[in-house]
Amino acid sequence: MIDVIVAGGGPTGMMLASELRLHGVHVVVLEKEPEPTKVVRSLGMHIRSIEIMDQRGLLDRFLELGTTHPAAGFFAAIPKPMPDRLDTTHPYVLGVPQPITDRLLSERATELGADIRRGTEVVGLDQDGDGVTIELADGTQLRSRYLVGCDGGRSTVRKLLGVAFPGENATTEALLGEMEVGVPLETVTSVVAEIRKTEKWFGVGPIGNGSYRVVVRAAKVSEGRPVPPTLEEVKERLRAVAGTDFGVHSPRWLSRFGDATRQAEQYRVARVLLAGDAAHVHPPTGGQGLNLGIQDAVNLGWKLAAEVNGWAPDGLLDSYHAERHPVATDVLNNTRAQVELMSTEPGPQAVRRLLTELMDFDEVNRYLVEKITGLGVRYDFGEGHSLLGRRMRDVGLKQGRLYELLHGGRGLLLDQTGQLSVAGWADRVDHVVDVSEELDVPAVLLRPDGHVAWAGDDQQDLLDYLPRWFGTAS
């Protein structure tokens, strides 16, 4: 029997497969599309996802193929500078087109031993107390202990489960594509600058290789299942909004997206779980979607592996929903707010002007940047040290740096006292005695996802927390 089947081979599914393989879990990824998509829906990664790639030793691969940009101007496209001294060693956004992210994460999953099967579509499932039986489009069946639906906003797995997906339908829609233009860059730049003074769902800009990324609001919301627009439809909307179609031609791909906002009521039904867009969809404002899915995967991976490997404490797998559902709720709320602020109507424009003034206060600007980039996430672990539940930024150590110690996806006790012990949990938790001038607490216990599970210097107190996250001592 397969340990875990992951339905969906996008960034969430491939990241999850890699996380599971770090713990020796037998993983099969089923992707219905025979070839990777060329559609560039996401343009890059925010700070928390960049940190995750660093934690797993993958960041150099992305930096080699990406471009760094200041971490600023995200919230509703309000142009404000990056706050000083963000709590990270990666205070930038990494521009990487999604097809590259897809490829790098797929290569990583393959390197770690994941079995990736393209052109394989899930059409049915049935679960019992021992596992899940998956029916494929070709009539064959597979059996696994767990199934995770990472199969997008129109998730087949979610629908087969019957999990409710409440929210709002799209009220506005945009056409998106990659194509060439027939006018000079200077003309494009001047026209776009003028239109974007009021129309934030608009953009035409070079992306290399002679191509331009084009975004323009559609005339109306599509009925039924959206289909890609035609080039003529894109040209017509460009003329209506900008007064010119820029001579666009030779599209490499065309797509459309809307501001539908929905969230699954449950992320887990017995042996079937949901992650990424299968669990939540929202407008792309702020560029949070891909990042939210990757972070779902890193939260879930080690917990599901612990369940498969038999050492998970009671409630650990359920903590995936408890922790990630509120995070996605917050993302849905802030994207709703951003969409309102990007409206051209007088009321939303008045609110936008007021918020623009408020963002001149460093505290407001910092709060919104941390919200968009994932730095502000804090899981509710109860009362305790101020670090509890937060992710730990990379800190320099006498013998290296913190994130280098997290590449294996295990728990970590970073001990500056040299007096503590994880005896009984050494198969799940690394104990490193080292010191850092940047860490003002004697010791921290980190979960595999980099969040602080405990901080202090008392061995008995530590022994109260280890079983909560890492099960009983061996």
**For the chain, what are the domain ranges?**
2-167+262-373, 173-258, 396-470
Q: Are 196 and 202 in contact (CB under 8 A)?
A: yes
Residue 198 has a pLDDT of 86
β 443-446/452-456 pair status: antiparallel
State the Cα angle at 325 between 147 and 338, rounded to 5°. 125
Average pLDDT of the segment spanning 413-426: 97
Average pLDDT of the segment spanning 407-430: 97
Average pLDDT of the segment spanning 276-302: 95
Q: Are 465 and 451 in contact (CB under 8 A)?
A: no
pLDDT above 70 as % of the chain: 100
Higher pLDDT: 38 or 48? It is 48
For the cut 90, the answer to whether the pLDDT of residue 437 exceeds it is yes
Candidates 228, 314, 317, 324; CA nearest to 278 is 324
Note the pLDDT tens digit of each residue in 298-323: 999 999 999 999 999 999 999 999 99
Residue 286 has a pLDDT of 85
d(CA 44, CA 178): 16
Residue 71 has a pLDDT of 79
> Which ranges constitute the DSSP H helices of 342-383?
346-358, 362-373
pLDDT above 90 as % of the chain: 86
Counting Cα atoms < 13 Å in the Cβ hemisphere of 50 gives 24
Counting Cα atoms < 13 Å in the Cβ hemisphere of 86 gives 26
For the cut 90, the answer to whether the pLDDT of residue 59 exceeds it is yes
Note the pLDDT tens digit of each residue in 230-268: 999 999 999 999 999 999 999 999 999 888 999 999 999
For the cut 80, the answer to whether the pLDDT of residue 457 exceeds it is yes
Q: How far is CA 298 from CA 43, 275, 276, in A?
A: 20, 10, 11
- How buried is residue 69: exposed, middle or buried, by Cβ count under 10 Å (0-12/13-18/19+)? middle
User: What fold does the segment set 173-258 form as a domain?
Assistant: Alpha-Beta Plaits (3.30.70)
Note the pLDDT tens digit of each residue in 189-208: 999 999 998 888 899 999 88
Residue 74 has a pLDDT of 78
Residue 223 has a pLDDT of 80
Residue 411 has a pLDDT of 98
For the cut 90, the answer to whether the pLDDT of residue 435 exceeds it is yes
Candidates 469, 132, 471; CA nearest to 299 is 469
d(CA 356, CA 370): 17
Note the pLDDT tens digit of each residue in 347-395: 999 999 999 999 999 999 999 999 999 999 999 999 889 999 999 999 9
Say whether 396-470 and 173-258 share the same fold: no
For the cut 80, the answer to whether the pLDDT of residue 73 exceeds it is no
The helix/strand/coil state of 459 is helix
- The dihedral sign for the CA sequence 16, 18, 24, 26: positive
- The dihedral sign for the CA sequence 188, 189, 194, 196: positive
For the cut 80, the answer to whether the pLDDT of residue 419 exceeds it is yes
The partner residues of 69 in beta bridges, in order of sequence, read: 93
* pLDDT band with cut points at 50, 70 and 90 for residue 209: confident
Residue 84 has a pLDDT of 86
Q: Where does 2-167+262-373 sit in CATH, by number?
A: 3.50.50.60
For the cut 90, the answer to whether the pLDDT of residue 180 exceeds it is yes
- The dihedral sign for the CA sequence 308, 309, 315, 316: negative
The CA radius of gyration of the chain, in Å to the nearest whole number, is 23
Segment holding 450, helix H or strand E:
none
Give the list of residues 6+ apart from residue 295 with CB closer than 8 angstroms, or none.
48, 49, 52, 324, 327, 374, 377
Tell me the one-letter amino acid at 270.
A
Candidates 462, 390, 406, 401; CA nearest to 437 is 401
For the cut 90, the answer to whether the pLDDT of residue 42 exceeds it is no
Backbone angles phi, psi at 324, to 5 degrees: -85, -25
The helix/strand/coil state of 332 is helix
Average pLDDT of the segment spanning 165-186: 94
The helix/strand/coil state of 205 is strand
Candidates 292, 293, 342; CA nearest to 151 is 293
Give the list of residues 6+ apart from residue 117 with CB closer than 8 angstroms, or none.
28, 29, 30, 31
pTM to 2 decimal places:
0.95
Give the list of residues 6+ apart from residue 400 with CB closer than 8 angstroms, or none.
434
* pLDDT band with cut points at 50, 70 and 90 for residue 462: very high
Query: 396-470, which class in CATH?
Result: alpha beta
Residue 436 has a pLDDT of 96
Residue 101 has a pLDDT of 95
Q: Which two tokens stand for residue 403?
A: 């994130």
Residue 318 has a pLDDT of 98
Q: Are 5 and 120 in contact (CB under 8 A)?
A: no
Segment holding 399, helix H or strand E:
none
For the cut 80, the answer to whether the pLDDT of residue 224 exceeds it is no
